Chains A and B, each alone.
Chain A
Amino acid sequence: MKNAIEVSSLSKHYGSFTLDQVSFTLPSGCIMGLIGENGAGKSTTIRLLLGLAKRTGGEVKVLGADPEKCEPELREEIGVVFDDCPFPETMTLRDVRRILAAAYRHFDGARFDELADKFALPERQRIKEYSRGMRMKLSIAAALSHGARLLIIDEPTSGLDPVARDELLDILLDFIQDERNSVLISSHILSDLEKACDYITFIHTGRVVFSEEKDELLEKYVIAKGSESEIDALDPDAVVGVRRGAFGCEALVARAAGERLAHERASIEEIMLYYIKGDAK
């Protein structure tokens, strides 16, 4: 399969919020980071991809199928990790194992046990006694133990310490070693995404601002620094956003335009921030 996810003109209306004509494609074998502010539409997009909500318009194909049709075969192939552990907190690791075995036809108990061992998850302790990192690892062990070809992960790293976040990224990179596997991950911690992702899709107020290969994106922009007059002299079409300070100006600009001034590499986080806040060109 060429693409793990194909989203075209996806729309959803909720009261005052609208997810508006969202389109992006995640090629198989890649990791895509879904970025944006709180309330931008990342989680809504993920819920629509999982068939947990019904779209108002557009087309969605996840592993070649429409998620709203809720085909069991499709669900077997999707591993989902939400921002908090989805299992009732009175349950133990054993209870979760039994439920997964009942829910998934292709549940691999040996793989689940192997991951639980690797993550040092206590077998008899209740989930409510687990740390936040352990809960996240349990969710990941569940997602990886039924032969999933696509991982969809919503805000997994918020609240995790740097070591746990790094471990999570290693797991994702390990998962993606099989070129048939793919990952869609939304996160606020953009430095994590920058380490792991092949593609970045940025959603702002319900619309896709860009959906591009990460390396191309990082190559495309620089942060140019100079006096106000130097920045103002830049081609307005090349400028994404400007920050004016007491000691000079900085602007996110297309590399070709910015290289004439003093400049530095722009991170994904800076690119996002300039798009959102640095709009005073």
Chain B
Amino acid sequence: MKAVILGDLMVIKSQAKSVLLVLVVWLAITVYNKSGLFFSALSVVYAMMLPLTCIAAYEKSRFDRYLFTAPVSRTSAAMGHYVFSIICALCLAAIGFAASVALGMSVREAVYSSSACFCIGIVMVSVLLPVIYKFGTEKARLTMMAVFVLFLLAFGLLLGALDVDMDSLGDALILLPALTLIVLAASAAVSVGIYKRREF
């Protein structure tokens, strides 16, 4: 698994300038708007984009095929991208948390908002990765957009239909980590199954 995580980091490192530029621009907008929540929300999209970028680079050079000729099991290769995604989402959540606190949000609120964005990012990655493993990154890009739009629509419709006020929504967020873990575990199981059956 270490080889896959390192591979992901190497791919992102090679694009460090553009990755950092986007983060700096977002941070600038965040500071201008005086809302750390803005950064945390956008980090959800980034948490999906970074593993997608890595796997696209793997596909282009057929690096995954090479890894399976090395002592890298299909399970650990599939899980490696999950671990990398979680690392990315954690880093982004930490930056979002720091920005929120620095801009005057209370620590409690900042923890809630960053954690919620982290969990949403992980849920979206959990939907995306099995699609990438099954259909490749090109189709997954469309899926990523669809997942994001559908998630926002479903979330909005659900809130409207249940007539939920924001305070009770805050209470419900306590359930989000558990929900995230369930979705992540199910996604990982599906991904490992896909990788084990896949031929290269």
Contacts and interface: CB of A to CB of B under 8 A. Distances in A.
Interface size of B as a range: 20 to 34
Given A53-B199, A102-B3, A91 B14 contact: yes
A245 interface: no
Interface string A97-108: 011101111000
B70 interface: yes
Contacts of A99: 3, 6-7, 10
A67 B115 CA distance: 44
Contacts of A76: 71
Contacts of B13: 95
Interface in B63-94: 63, 65-74
A86 B68 contact: no
Contacts of A261: none
A111 interface: no
B200 interface: yes
B61 A103 contact: no
A162 interface: no
Q: Which of A47, A82, A86 has the most CB of B within 10 A?
A: A86
B69 A88 contact: no
Q: Which of A51, A53, A95, A100 has the most CB of B within 10 A?
A: A95
Nearest to A98: B6
Interface of A: 47, 50-54, 70, 72-73, 75-76, 78, 80, 82, 84-91, 95, 98-100, 102-105, 126
A90 B70 CA distance: 21
Interface in B1-53: 2-3, 6-7, 10-11, 13-15
A89 B71 contact: no
A89 B190 CA distance: 29
A98 B58 CA distance: 16
Contact of A89 (B3, B60, B72, B74): B60
Contacts of B7: 88, 99
A103 B11 contact: no
Given A90-B14, A99-B3, A102-B6, A52 B57 contact: no
B62 A86 contact: yes
13 contacts: A54-B199, A70-B74, A73-B71, A75-B72, A82-B62, A82-B65, A84-B61, A86-B62, A87-B66, A88-B10, A88-B11, A88-B61, A90-B10
Q: Which of B13, B66, B67, B200 has the most CB of A within 10 A?
A: B66
Given A52-B68, A53-B199, A88 B74 contact: no
Contacts of A53: 199-200
A52 B69 contact: yes
Contacts of A98: 6, 10
Given A47-B200, A52-B200, A91 B11 contact: yes
Contacts of A86: 61-63, 65-66
B63 A87 contact: yes
A75 B66 CA distance: 11
A52 B70 CA distance: 11
B71 A75 contact: yes
A99 B67 CA distance: 10
Given A82-B62, A95-B10, 19 more contacts: A52-B65, A52-B69, A52-B199, A52-B200, A54-B199, A70-B68, A70-B74, A72-B71, A75-B71, A82-B65, A84-B62, A86-B62, A87-B63, A88-B60, A89-B60, A90-B11, A99-B7, A102-B3, A103-B2
